[in-house]
């Protein structure tokens, strides 16, 4: 399944690896903050609920 | 129906809530197809070998790095002219996404450049203008964080955005302006059969997955900006409510 990357395997894999890590961190951080802020606002708007 | 209706925070959240899962889903599908196709099923380039596969990340991220700033410019201008809070918050929401795209373009460019040019970095017009654009992103985000009053922060960051737009455009056209340095000129937009010129253009074998990958990155950007703008709207409302509580 893995393509034959030859002598540049490290180059290609490190480029993909670094990019995917950065994208995953960005998506996860955005998602986490969205949930956190939504819950905090609900608490402020409805402190008894 | 007018586009300005979406300047209403409630309307914006309600509408984006409906479309967000679809855009995020389409982004995931396009990214899996574009990157998967590019990585697993395209041949090596006769000059660059397998490093050509980096194009499926490098070009879309660079494209988004510039266009995210241009989107912020439009949103900032709307804030300056019409004082719609949602537009200022959308610009704020887009900045970290644009910064990550610029960082990915810089990192993948350096990794790709090492075996092809023999160096990780060169003070080439395009590389340098991209680095300056990245610094503008960091400065823009820092300015938002540094100013407590939301409206003042929106005013000052909008001005910074206008200034930074010069570098966003420069990073796109630097190669054409100076016609020197290591980085090649644009060959992607010459891809496909639309042009009769076959020299130095990206072959269709590489171009089709590349365009799918660009679409995936663009959809991911839109999804993240919608999600983060919703968050900024809610955070702003929370700050306003807490301030009102403190005054009472």
Give the per-residue pLDDT at B195.
46
- Whether B176 maps to a domain, the answer reads yes
Scanning A29-48 for CB atoms below 8 A from B yields 30-31, 33-34, 37-38, 40-41, 44-45
How many domains is chain B built from?
Answer: 1
Give the gap in angstroms from C-alpha B139 to the nearest C-alpha of chain A: 18
- Whether B162 maps to a domain, the answer reads yes
- Whether B205 maps to a domain, the answer reads no
Give the per-residue pLDDT at B188.
61
Is A5 in Cβ contact with B50 (below 8 Å)? yes
Q: Which chain B residues contact residue A28 at CB under 8 A?
A: none
DSSP of chain B: --GGGGGSHHHHHHHHHHHHHHHHHHHHHHHHHHHHHHHHHSPPBTTTBGGGGGHHHHHHHHHHHHHHHHHHHHHHHHHHHH--HHHHHHHHHHHHHHHHHHHHHHHHHHHHHHHHHS-S----HHHHHHHHHHHHHHHHHHHHHH-SSHHHHHHHHHHHHHHHHHHHHHHHHHHHHH--SSS----GGG-STT-S--TTPPPHHHHHHHHHHHHHHHHHHHHHHHHHHHHHHHHHHHHHHHHHHHH-
Q: Which chain B residues contact residue A6 at CB under 8 A?
A: 44, 49-50
- Whether B38 maps to a domain, the answer reads no
Is B230 in Cβ contact with A34 (below 8 Å)? yes
Q: What is the pLDDT of residues A10-46, one digit of tens each?
A: 999 999 999 999 999 999 999 999 999 999 999 999 8
- Whether B210 maps to a domain, the answer reads no
- Whether B20 maps to a domain, the answer reads no
For residue B171, the enclosing domain spans: 57-189+223-247
Q: Which residue has the higher pLDDT, B217 or A4?
A: B217
Give the per-residue pLDDT at B181.
65
Give the per-residue pLDDT at B126.
84
pLDDT in tens, chain B (248 residues): 677 877 899 999 999 999 999 999 999 999 999 999 999 999 888 888 899 999 999 999 999 999 999 999 999 999 999 999 999 999 999 999 999 999 999 999 999 999 998 899 988 888 888 999 999 999 999 999 999 999 999 999 999 999 999 878 877 776 666 666 667 666 665 554 444 455 566 778 889 999 999 999 999 999 999 999 999 999 999 999 999 888 87
- Whether B74 maps to a domain, the answer reads yes
Q: Which chain A residues contact residue B245 at CB under 8 A?
A: 44
Scanning A11-30 for CB atoms below 8 A from B yields 11-12, 14-16, 18-19, 22-23, 26-27, 30
């Amino acid at each position: 399944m893995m393509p034959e990357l030859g002598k540049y395997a490290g180059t290609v894999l490190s480029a993909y690896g670094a990019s995917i890590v950065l994208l995953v961190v960005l998506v996860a951080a955005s998602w986490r903050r969205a949930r956190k802020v939504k819950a905090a606002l609900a608490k402020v708007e409805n402190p008894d609920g | 129906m007018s586009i300005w209706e979406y300047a209403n925070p409630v309307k914006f959240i309600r509408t984006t809530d409906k479309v967000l899962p679809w855009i995020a889903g389409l982004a995931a599908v396009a990214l899996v197809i574009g990157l998967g196709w590019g990585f697993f099923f395209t041949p090596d380039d006769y000059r660059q070998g397998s490093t050509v596969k980096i194009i499926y990340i490098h070009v879309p991220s660079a494209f988004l790095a510039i266009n995210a700033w241009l989107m912020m410019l439009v949103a900032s201008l709307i804030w300056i002219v019409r004082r719609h809070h949602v537009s200022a918050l959308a610009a704020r929401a887009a900045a970290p996404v644009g910064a990550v795209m610029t960082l990915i373009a810089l990192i993948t460019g350096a990794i790709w450049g090492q075996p092809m040019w023999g160096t990780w970095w060169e003070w080439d017009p395009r590389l340098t203008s991209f680095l300056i654009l990245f610094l503008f992103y960091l400065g823009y985000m820092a300015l938002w964080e540094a100013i407590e009053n939301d409206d003042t922060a929106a005013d000052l960051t909008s001005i910074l955005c206008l200034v930074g737009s010069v570098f966003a455009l420069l990073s796109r056209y630097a190669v054409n302006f100076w016609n020197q340095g290591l980085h090649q000129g644009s060959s992607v937009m010459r891809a496909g059969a639309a042009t009769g010129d076959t020299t130095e253009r990206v072959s269709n074998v590489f171009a089709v997955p590349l365009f799918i990958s660009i679409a995936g990155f663009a959809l991911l950007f839109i999804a993240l900006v919608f999600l983060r703008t919703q968050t900024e709207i809610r955070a702003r409302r929370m700050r306003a409510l807490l301030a009102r509580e403190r005054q009472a």
